Structure 1
Amino acid sequence: MKALLNSLLAVVLISASACTNPDVVSPETSTAEKGVVKGRVVDNQGKPVANAEIIASSTDYYNKTTTAYTDANGTYRLQLPTGVAEGSYSASGTVTIKYHGKNVKMALYEENTRVFSAYDGAVRNFVFRLTGKRTADDDETATPLGGSVQVHHQVDNVVWENLELTLEPVGPLVDGSTGQTIIRTMPAHDYYLRDIPVGQYKITARDKVTGQQLGVTIKDSFNDYSPSVTALFTEANFVGDTFWEIVLLVNTL
């Protein structure tokens, strides 16, 4: 009897730990279940992410999707149709955050991109992070989670290979973290600085060889060039997009 009581106590303690410790994956979200796709969303520290949107999309029928949102523990559960003709599905996720008065939709890192049958179900977990690959299968040519700074320079006045940008965070980043100052030289054959954590930045530019400070402004802002500019990442393509960019102009002062 004593051994039985100890075993029951151990089960209770493990269950309680799974509910409170974000690093513990419970059986409910780790074992596949027929007709269901489920899983968990956490951040880089393993903390649960609530209100993340998970979409299961049919790979056989256009625009056929099912949507769920994570709870306070970061878990979600999507019931899928299980008819013979239902075919296969893929899962993707985003989280929307209110940042500087607007809704910022961020893609979630996908640990497993394999399609699955609706009948068999699947477990698909996601991570909310600001930089790095969007999926485990991405290579170096894929667009990362971070935003891009697109740079246009006045070719008569600015030597491209000498151009150095400094991005200093202004307040917290989109996930609430502090962020760090980023100093980058422009790539030789690319007009973009890529995989920058989305946030608001004070941006300056200089010629790293001569030390000359250069002028900067945001494209289409109609502002004059100045020694620095404070810029916020915006959607690269359309409202609700998960690709973010700043378009910067650089010239002499």
Structure 2
Amino acid sequence: MNRNAKTLTALLGLTLSLIAQALPTASTPRTIEGTVTAASGHSLKDTVVIACPKGDCDSGDVKGVVIDSGKAKADFTLTDLDNVPYAIYAVQDNDGDEDVSVGDWVDRNLLAEKEAPLVKVGTANVKLELVEVKRAAAAPGTSTQAQSNTTKPAASSTTTALRGFITGTVVNEQGVPLPGVEVVADNMLAYNSNLITRTDAQGRYKIDVRNAPVTFNVTASLAIKYDGYSATVSLVPQNPETVPGGVGGVRNFTFKPKPVSQQDPYGNLACVFVEREAGNFDIDPAQVVLTLTPVGKLADGSTGKVRQTKLVMSGSGWVAANVMWGTYKVTGTMNGRPIELRRRIGGMDTYEWGPSYTGGFTRDYQSLQPNMFLEVRLPRS
């Protein structure tokens, strides 16, 4: 993500709490001063001016001030600055959607997707000119053409750090933002006192932890509907570290298969559990390779891809993990030799053996989420 994208995100995500920290006082001489002018006599009221240290608007040391004047020209003073050069930007987010859209006003550097020049602390002649956004602004480096109604824009991979808040963005593997994802900040000190929110239409979320002097473990989950079931998918964090309350931090998540390991062989999607035929030991599951071919659309709306996978030993037996829920035609080999398969289920039910099995996922064997349960054997001569 380039610096302009970080600039844009920081401007739009700036909160009053951050601004309050930057209001001028008599004891803060390290300042940058200047003037903002709006084209066509437009009112500057509620315009935000920020200073990004060394041009880094993703820094936690961004300073800001809000212009209260309703005139088209106003002076500003940014105070309590560090002894580093700053890039100065301004924006008036008129619709409050924290996104640049038609009718918003931004300075010319932002509109042209240019980096503002760095200025030294003590500078008193910074000049900014706000102009109206005449078209839907695109993120730097993207096309400005109208997007399809069926395709959402890719979300920024960088989320603004706001002191005292946990913020983040949730996307899929293609970078498309995911709305309605549940994000939980788990209070690690007190039981059952979590902070819970959901992502907005742009896949973003914000949790206020300014008055919570505890540590939080942040997780995100997405409910997948499948065949009358609701399967909960734990999303993969970009940074799994805990977040200190009062300070906050950025925690982004991605909806993708969770890497499996010896400690956690189940992943975060569906599993295919495989057993040998009862009393038959002619199969070595460690040498079995399954081929899963999707039949129709999967639970995530995709058509999926043909997948070949070896089995991994888990506490619940041999398993192929991270399979999206849906219907599959399953075939298998052992050391290159075809094997027979059938659905496995307890009780008196039985299923026919065959060179393939076509079916979906169920909650047999008291599984918490729908999984597939198969038996395998070598073909009978």
**Same fold flag (TM > 0.5):** yes
Distance 1:43 1:149, change over 3 A: same
Q: Does 1:229 align with 2:357?
A: yes
Q: Deviations over 1:120-167 (max 9, x none)?
A: 1111110011x2328xxxx55334234322111125364225644322
Q: What pairs up with 1:72-87 in 2 under 5 angstroms?
A: 72-80=201-209, 82-83=211-212, 86-87=213-214
Distance 1:54 1:22, change over 3 A: same
User: For structure 1, which segment, 215-224 or 74-83, has the greater mean C-alpha deviation from structure 2 after superposition?
Assistant: 215-224
Distance 1:13 1:23, change over 3 A: farther
> Which letter maps to 1:175?
D
Q: Percent identity?
A: 23
Show the counterpart of 1:52.
Answer: 181
Look up the SS of the partner of 2:350 in the other structure: coil
Show the counterpart of 2:274.
Answer: 151
> Which letter maps to 2:293?
E
Show the counterpart of 2:48.
Answer: none
Show the counterpart of 1:106.
Answer: 233
Q: Does 1:32 align with 2:131?
A: no
Report which structure shows greater RCO (CA 8 Å, sep ≥6): 1
Q: What pairs up with 1:173-188 in 2 under 5 angstroms?
A: 173-186=298-311
Paired with 1:210 and 1:110, the residues of 2 have a C-alpha distance of 40
Paired with 2:362 and 2:112, the residues of 1 have a C-alpha distance of 46
Look up the SS of the partner of 1:63 in the other structure: coil
Show the counterpart of 2:22.
Answer: none
Q: Which runs of 5+ in 1 are unaligned?
A: none
> Which letter maps to 1:141?
Q
Aligned residues of 2:155 and 2:169 also touching (Cα < 8 A): no
Q: What pairs up with 1:121-136 in 2 under 5 angstroms?
A: 121-129=248-256, 131-133=257-259
Q: What pairs up with 1:131-210 in 2 under 5 angstroms?
A: 131-133=257-259, 140-143=262-265, 144-154=267-277, 155-156=279-280, 158-160=282-284, 163-186=288-311, 191-208=318-335, 210=337
Look up the SS of the partner of 1:175 in the other structure: coil
Q: Deviations over 1:166-215 (max 9, x none)?
A: 2211222332222122234545896222333343322234555554x514
> Which letter maps to 2:108?
L
Q: Does 1:94 align with 2:221?
A: yes
Distance 1:61 1:216, change over 3 A: same
Paired with 2:190 and 2:311, the residues of 1 have a C-alpha distance of 43
Deviation at 1:108, TM superposition (A): 0.6
2:192 to 40, 48, 63: 63
Deviation at 1:18, TM superposition (A): 4.3
Deviation at 1:68, TM superposition (A): 0.5
Paired with 1:21 and 1:81, the residues of 2 have a C-alpha distance of 31
RMSD: 3.5
> Which letter maps to 2:137?
A
TM-score, with structure 2 as normaliser: 0.53
Deviation at 1:249, TM superposition (A): 1.7
Distance 1:62 1:117, change over 3 A: same
Show the counterpart of 1:22.
Answer: 154
Paired with 1:187 and 1:94, the residues of 2 have a C-alpha distance of 25
Paired positions, count: 239
Aligned residues of 2:313 and 2:319 also touching (Cα < 8 A): no
Deviation at 1:109, TM superposition (A): 0.6
Look up the SS of the partner of 1:16 in the other structure: coil
Paired with 1:203 and 1:71, the residues of 2 have a C-alpha distance of 38
Show the counterpart of 2:64.
Answer: none
Deviation at 1:118, TM superposition (A): 1.4
